[in-house]
Structure 1
């Protein structure tokens, strides 16, 4: 985020968010004064294990973790959703996309995946963007550069949903989510090491080399063991990425 921000400050380019959560926030901010934003509320489906206990998570299989209730995604992102690591990355991304500090970005579990994210303002008002769990709308909105392009995709019919529910995520059960705040608190190459370790850990889980609950342990142990650069340049990110992947693989071999 810091590297891209520096590059953008010397460029006429802009970043238009495509991910559904960030697109939702972007849409809610249209016409609003950024100074009036109180907090960003990023919604999460909670993945397939939102109602599992910690004890049950120790025994989940790869097949279990790949059964996402709402979205059809590739294997890696589906596992990230199951661990809520994907939401940690989205919090990090939101911090840089919208310029808010981490303590003003909050996740909330919303099992129906109809509200894609929300923005609360200084007067207490909350704006939300709703839609079916489908990527056509946010991609089209970005391609149109915030101009709404006519679509014949399936429409949301709000009357088809008896209720929309929300609850706080359990970070003791899904510790990967807390890594967002760890990364943003430390800054530097912390997020780079976390991302690299996660990719290696998820691949190991998909290959049935480690348990589902080992994913967090691999990431955290790798973060602690990897060189930390507080003010990195591009070459530092490349080096830390490589180092973290190697250390994660070493840790996996000990499990």
Structure 2
């Protein structure tokens, strides 16, 4: 009977040990599962951290791109405003250039006609000098003195007009652009006509003297030099007009490309 009790006790203890071993195995499996799950969570957290860093970096890149785009838009607006101002200024200059070119062309034509007229007058004066006597010379000298006084008076008047024009030019610097352009083109033709009349008058006085061949050649050379100078100024004005027109076209193309 005691042996039977011992056997039963041992059997219960064995069953208890088996149950404990089974529980230990279950807990080991649960621990391994929890470790695996923890590792998976750590991997997910690591991947999520990298993705978060990538997203933060992408957001910063987008912010930088937006800032650069905003600066480009601001610069484009400034360039557009400058282009419009420059275009208006160039259009104003281009509107005034044809008048100036036409005036230079007129002056060049006047000098050409003056040169031809002086050549004819020189030929007539040479023919008259051969047939002129002393009385005619005396009358011519008296007439020349009177005309010289008249010429001196007109020169003083022209100098006064030129001084008034310079005074107007200094005053125009304080006036708006439209008033300045109006005063310039209103004063310059009058002064040019006055000076041209004085030049013609002086030439007439010179050619009424019995000229020699050397003086005629000198006057002809002087007129040709003046004519060439005016033609050069005319070509320079035309070149400036073409360059400004080309610059305006290039600026329009550049602004169109920038806007596109």
Bigger proportion of residues as helix: 2
Band of TM-score, shorter chain: under 0.3
Structure number with bigger Rg: 2
- The structure whose RCO (Cα within 8 Å, separation 6+) is larger is 2
Query: Structure 1 length as normaliser, TM-score?
Result: 0.27
Relative to total residues, which structure has the larger strand share, 1 or 2?
Answer: 1
